[in-house]
Structure 1
Amino acid sequence: MDKEQQYKRVFKHLDVNGDGKISPPELQICIGKIGEDLSLEEAEFAAELMDSDGDGLLSFDDLVKVVESANEEEKVKDLKLAFKMYEEMEGCGCITPKSLKRMLSKLGESRTVDECELMIKKFDLDGNGVLDFQEFQDMMS
């Protein structure tokens, strides 16, 4: 089952009355089923924030946008954690050849500093010999 089919299944499940839109009460019921409390007022506010056409209801596209956005935020969060593991212990905010060598060694890969310099050079967009977070993010995507 591909991602769109999964989204459609979830949407159909949330759209209790089958009208092709998720209303605040339907959103409230859904959140309640996963064990969270959401007042009708909070559900209306959430629907208003996610609603793209101003009708106060969530379309399939609205749901996909919210889920994709949450997934993207989670990816960036994970990349930031990974970046912190690789960056220099002094906290320079970048990955140096030595810090890359050290981390790869911890992961069981033996590389020389020269090899690490070459690896960094492939993704070092500003040519400063180290990777900042943006360069690391580009490399990982």
Structure 2
Amino acid sequence: MDKLSQYERVFKQLDGNGDGKISPSELQQCVEAIGEELSAGDAAAVVTMLDADGDGLVGFDDFVRFVEGGEEEEKENDLREAFKMYEMDESGCITPRSLKRMLSRLGECTSIDECEVMIARFDLDRDGVLTFDEFKVMMML
């Protein structure tokens, strides 16, 4: 089952009356059905936050945008955690020395020169270090 089909299935579960939109009360009922609490005010606030066309309801496109956005945020957080492992002294960048240190922890024996070459491949501003944005580009390949 592809992602879009999975999203449709979940959306239909939330859309109690089958009108193709999720209302605050439908959201509240679904949350309560799984044993959690959500006040009417909080449900309305969530719907308002997700509602792109201003009709007071969450359409399928709004739902997909929310779900996909959450996945992107999760990926970004995972990349930030990985980046922190490679950076040195919370400097905000990966240096050849910090890369060598991390690679040696992983059992890879590399020289500083080899690390400089690795960094140079993705060092977009040519400052000799990798920023988080450069690291993210590298990890997306």
Query: Are 1:117 and 2:116 an aligned pair?
Result: yes
TM-score norm. by structure 1 comes to 0.93
Task: Give unpaired runs (5+ residues) of structure 2.
Answer: none
Identity of aligned residues (%): 61
What do residues 80-124 of structure 1 show as CA deviations (whole Å, max 9, x unaligned)? 111111001x32211011111111122222222221111100000
Instruction: Select between 18-27 and 31-40 the one with higher mean Cα deviation.
Output: 31-40
Aligned letter for 2:92? G
SS in 1 for 2:22: coil
Taking a change above 3 Å as real, the CA distance of residues 35 and 99 of structure 1, as seen in their structure-2 partners, is farther
Query: Are 1:36 and 2:25 an aligned pair?
Result: no
Q: CA separation in 1, counterparts of 2:60 and 2:5? A: 11
Aligned residues: 140
Shift of 1:32: 2.0
Q: CA separation in 2, counterparts of 1:101 and 1:34? A: 48
Task: Give unpaired runs (5+ residues) of structure 1.
Answer: none
SS in 2 for 1:95: coil
Counterpart in the other structure of 2:17: 17
What do residues 26-85 of structure 1 show as CA deviations (whole Å, max 9, x unaligned)? 111222233331111110111011011111111110000011111111111111111111
Counterpart in the other structure of 2:126: 127
Q: CA separation in 1, counterparts of 2:18 and 2:107? A: 53
Q: CA separation in 2, counterparts of 1:109 and 1:29? A: 53
Q: CA separation in 1, counterparts of 2:32 and 2:106? A: 42
Q: CA RMSD in A?
A: 1.2
Counterpart in the other structure of 1:27: 27
5 Å-filtered alignment, 1:94-109, equals: 94-109=93-108
Aligned letter for 2:94? I
Q: CA separation in 1, counterparts of 2:93 and 2:25? A: 47
Counterpart in the other structure of 2:86: 86
Counterpart in the other structure of 1:51: 51
Counterpart in the other structure of 2:63: 63
